[in-house]
Structure 1
Amino acid sequence: MVESRTGWPGWLYACVIVGALLMALGGVIALINPAMLLAPGEPITAGVRVYAGYLVSRNIVLAVMLMAMLAVRARRMLCGLMLLTALIQALDAILDARDGRWMLVPGVTVFAVVFLFGAWWLAGKGSWRIWHQDSESIRA
């Protein structure tokens, strides 16, 4: 396994970078061509544009923050952002399945699982100890 100078594995860097790029790309696509968010032939309405804008802001901000926290090696923040991203992707997979977009479900699910595993690794590989330790230190 390749490790960086920080002791973080190379796969973690690759996971965050590729995931952030994919999220940013999804945001850019929603910004440039919101019709890609719809079924073929569906009209682009004002509501579609509003929700495409929400997707743009969500994806771009998460992508930038993931990269920033990776760059400064902010372990706890990166862990939290990866967990948030994994949960968002898991819900996206559920909604894609509900709406019959079966081609998207495997990719989104893999994205969620990889980010969940990365968050688990950052948290201490045994449990979600980061939050538990924080609550213990507050009580002390």
Structure 2
Amino acid sequence: MNPNRVGRESERTSLRMATEASNIPTWVRAFVMVGGLLMVLGGVIALARPSILISPTDQITGGVHIYAGYFAVRNVALGLFLPLMLFLQVRRVLGSLMVLVGMIQMLDVIMDCIEGRWAIVPGVVLLGLLYFFGAARVLGAPFWSRESWV
């Protein structure tokens, strides 16, 4: 294969990816930034005052502190990496993270239903769906489609 041709194809691919990265819709950019900020704040709250995250009648035990720490680390990591990937314009990684966060939200919905927290279910479903729709816009196809991953 001609090395000049490979170089030109690589340049075209880089240019196409850069152009596509700048075409992320404004609502997706805003949602990723606000969502990332809220995830970081949730993590900080879980570390600083885990009592805010539970019922007023529940006790804060050692186990609650341990799981609050895990929750905090997960949220802070995802909350920092979503905007970072947006800033770096890494579409595939951003889309993959958005699918992951959307799936976490949907699994949270299942737990909320099992535990009877009906008041927050609609909001969590909406967040999950927005992450899925945003990921589809970033990846160019819904996550269940092969085109979004190759």
Sort the TM-score into its range (normalised by shorter chain).
Answer: 0.7 to 0.9
TM-score computed with the length of structure 2 as normaliser: 0.81
Quote how far apart the aligned CAs of 1:128 are: 4.2
Q: Number of paired residues? A: 129
User: Is residue 15 from structure 1 mapped to residue 31 from structure 2 by the alignment?
Assistant: yes
Give the aligned partner of residue 36 of structure 1: 52
3-state SS of 2:28 partner: helix
Matches of 2:50 and 2:21 in 1, distance apart? 41
What's the offset of the Cα at 1:93?
1.2
Superposition misfits of 4+ residues, deviation over 6 angstroms: none
Q: Where does the alignment leave 5 or more consecutive residues of structure 2 unmatched?
A: 1-19
**More displaced 10-residue stretch of structure 1: 61-70 or 29-38:** 29-38
Tell me the percent identity. Answer: 45
Cα deviation 1:54-91 (Å, max 9, x = unaligned): 01000000010001100001000000000000000110
Shift of 1:124: 1.2
**TM-score of the two chains, using structure 1 as the length reference:** 0.86
Contact 1:120/1:128 (CA < 8 Å) preserved in 2? no
Q: Is 1:71 aligned with 2:87?
A: yes
Structure 1 residue runs of 5 or longer lacking an equivalent are: 134-140
CA distance in 2, matches of 1:6, 1:95: 37
Q: CA deviation at 1:35?
A: 0.9
CA RMSD of aligned residues (A): 1.6
